[in-house]
Amino acid sequence: MTDSPDPRRAILDRETLFAPLSAAERDALAPKLVLRPFAVGEAVVRQGDAGDSLFLIVEGNLAAMFSSGGRPARQAGKLAPGDCFGEMSLLTGAPRSATVLARSAGVAYEVAKSDIAPILTARPEISAELGQLLARRQSVLDAIAAEHPEIDAADAKKLGTVITNWILAGFQIAPGVVI
């Protein structure tokens, strides 16, 4: 009898954020993913809350809601199976940049900072790759710019480096180790 492959490993293989990890690192991380069900209307995460995990959506539909300057929340994006959210909080320790509301019942796998930390500590060079991947996620960058006025125009042009430094700081890795 053949064992069926672990769906958690397949999800890690599909998510570009985990592309810098080796097959062995994804094998080690997969069993640590925790299945998290959510109900219609549930806030899976709330903007401004501390966060140290990301979510990989398996089933269901969600909406990312963003509010700034005391204005009412507006929908900043839709999330569906195959999408992930929370990567900025996981990797940099920044507060949640949006509230994510369930538009239907579903499930997601949660990846905790404590589970990925040993990988990044052992191979800090991955931080630079993750920084560049995060920089390419434009919707996340828009939220960062709105929430972090300390990032000036010069830094915005090299945001991948800024985010890499946040990742290193979040995992207490000296920046010189990567270069």
pLDDT, tens digit (0-9, with 9 covering 90-100), for 66-105: 887 777 778 878 899 998 888 888 888 889 988 999 999 9
Please count the structural domains in the chain: 1
Residue 30 covered by a domain? yes
Model pTM score: 0.75
**DSSP secondary-structure letter at 110?**
E
Could you tell me the CATH number of the domain that includes residue 40?
2.60.120.10
Q: CA 126, CA 123: separation in Å to the nearest integer?
A: 6
- pLDDT exceeds 60 at position 153: no
Residue 58 covered by a domain? yes
Residue 1 covered by a domain? no
Average pLDDT, the chain: 81
Instruction: Work out whether strand 43-45 and strand 106-112 pair parallel, antiparallel, or are unpaired.
Output: unpaired
Residue 173 covered by a domain? yes
- For the chain, give percent helix, strand, coil, nearest 5: 45, 20, 35
Q: CA 40, CA 124: separation in Å to the nearest integer?
A: 39
Q: If 0-12 CB within 10 Å is exposed, 13-18 middle and 19+ buried, where does residue 78 land?
A: exposed
Q: Which domain holds residue 16?
A: 7-177
Residue 139 covered by a domain? yes
Residue 2 covered by a domain? no
Q: Which residues pair with 56 in a beta bridge?
A: 84, 109
* Confidence band of 176 (pLDDT split at 50, 70, 90): low
- pLDDT exceeds 50 at position 42: yes
Measured at the alpha carbon of residue 140, what is the angle toward residues 161 and 70, in degrees to the nearest 5? 120
Residue 25 covered by a domain? yes
Residue 156 covered by a domain? yes
Q: CA 101, CA 75: separation in Å to the nearest integer?
A: 10
